[in-house]
């Protein structure tokens, strides 16, 4: 539960699993009636996660006496979730918004200096590309290149830098590539899971590897940019059904030194 959003998830492999999920919905309905927080069935959706060939059973669920709509795409907390967890539609939408914001900035400012560009770009353009990136980070190189292209075009809008190559523009603007920021964010989140968050909050599938290493698994090294290198294996189930939302799963993360 988050604010007024509620999600129910269960791994469905047989008919009995679907009945248990329906029992969960029934208990949630009773809870909502007790606390005078009734659900709106028209806003409740069912989405099946995973490859289509791995979904072995589909069931028609209902709440408050109404059948819930089964969808392939759902927007949840600003992230467009698809049943295959590819997030392509979400990424394309964010790229479109980021390009629109950059166009607006360029039209408003007759002269765009590096000092003016950087805070505007970071707050109004890059923030769209990086929202919830720990969840929907692009897995395909095509999508990664499309996201990076936004920053390539944006840095060309800075007056006096159009003739420079992309790496030179980034150096003068003191900006990293978006790919670097995604990797850095993944490593920071992984470090938080094993060093900051309480152990009982971690799912069973999110555990360190037991393979011995010559170095401590949380060994830190200092380079030009201080980064934390770790080696973990993160796995999750590949299929499931969820009501009114989705489960952020099915991502494998491997961070190597």
Residue 100 is assigned to a structural domain of this protein: yes
Give the span between the Cα atoms of 253 and 82, in whole angstroms: 20
Range of the domain at 70: 8-82
Find the mean pLDDT for residues 173-182: 93
pTM score, two decimals? 0.70
Final residue belonging to a domain, choices 127, 160, 175: 175
Say whether both 35 and 94 belong to one domain: no
pLDDT digits 0-9 by tens, 224-250: 333 333 333 333 333 344 444 333 333
* CA distance readout (Å), 32 to 10, 218, 242: 20, 44, 18
Residue pair 205/11 in contact (Cβ under 8 Å)? The answer is: no
pLDDT digits 0-9 by tens, 72-116: 888 888 888 888 888 999 999 999 999 999 999 999 999 999 999
- Residue with the two structure tokens 């005078």: 36
pLDDT range class, residue 3, cuts 50, 70, 90: low
pLDDT digits 0-9 by tens, 14-63: 888 888 989 999 998 898 888 888 888 888 888 888 776 666 667 788 88
Q: Could you give the number of structural domains in the chain?
A: 2
Say whether both 19 and 65 belong to one domain: yes
Give the span between the Cα atoms of 125 and 94, in whole angstroms: 9
Final residue belonging to a domain, choices 148, 175, 202: 175
* CA distance readout (Å), 254 to 150, 216, 222, 232, 251: 26, 16, 20, 6, 10
Residue 221 is assigned to a structural domain of this protein: no
Q: What are residue 46's DSSP bridge partners?
A: 70, 243
Say whether both 57 and 23 belong to one domain: yes
Give the span between the Cα atoms of 251 and 215, in whole angstroms: 26
Q: Share the mean pLDDT of the chain.
A: 78
Final residue belonging to a domain, choices 129, 144, 175: 175
Residue pair 95/85 in contact (Cβ under 8 Å)? The answer is: no
Residue 37 is assigned to a structural domain of this protein: yes
User: Which position has the higher pLDDT, 50 or 180?
Assistant: 180
Q: Phi-psi region for residue 5, left (φ > 0), alpha (ψ -120 to 50) or beta?
A: beta
Say whether both 75 and 139 belong to one domain: no
Say whether both 93 and 168 belong to one domain: yes
Residues 223, 227, 233, 235: is their CA dihedral positive or negative? negative
């Amino acid at each position: 539960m988050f604010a007024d959003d509620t999600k129910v998830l269960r791994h469905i492999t047989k008919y009995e699993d679907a009945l248990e999920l329906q029992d969960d919905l029934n208990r949630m309905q009773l809870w909502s009636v007790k606390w005078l927080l009734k659900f709106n069935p028209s806003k409740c959706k069912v989405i099946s996660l995973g490859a289509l060939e791995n979904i072995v059973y589909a069931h028609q669920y209902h709440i408050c006496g109404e059948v819930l709509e089964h969808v392939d795409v759902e927007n949840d907390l600003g992230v467009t979730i698809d049943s295959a967890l590819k997030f392509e539609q979400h990424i394309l939408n964010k790229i479109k918004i980021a390009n629109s914001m950059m166009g607006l900035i360029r039209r408003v400012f007759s002269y765009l200096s590096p000092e003016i560009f950087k805070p505007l770009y970071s707050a109004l353009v890059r923030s769209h590309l990086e929202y919830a990136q720990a969840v929907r980070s692009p897995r395909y190189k095509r999508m990664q290149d499309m996201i990076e292209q936004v920053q390539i075009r944006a840095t060309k809008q800075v007056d006096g830098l159009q003739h420079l190559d992309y790496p030179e523009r980034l150096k003068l603007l003191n900006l990293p590539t978006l790919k670097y920021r995604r990797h850095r964010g993944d490593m920071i989140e992984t470090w938080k899971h094993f060093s900051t968050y309480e152990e009982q909050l971690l799912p069973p599938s999110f555990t360190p590897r037991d393979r011995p290493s010559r170095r401590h698994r949380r060994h830190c090294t200092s380079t030009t940019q201080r980064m934390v290198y770790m080696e973990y294996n993160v796995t999750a189930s590949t299929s499931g059904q969820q009501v009114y939302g989705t489960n952020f799963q099915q991502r494998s993360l491997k961070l190597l030194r």
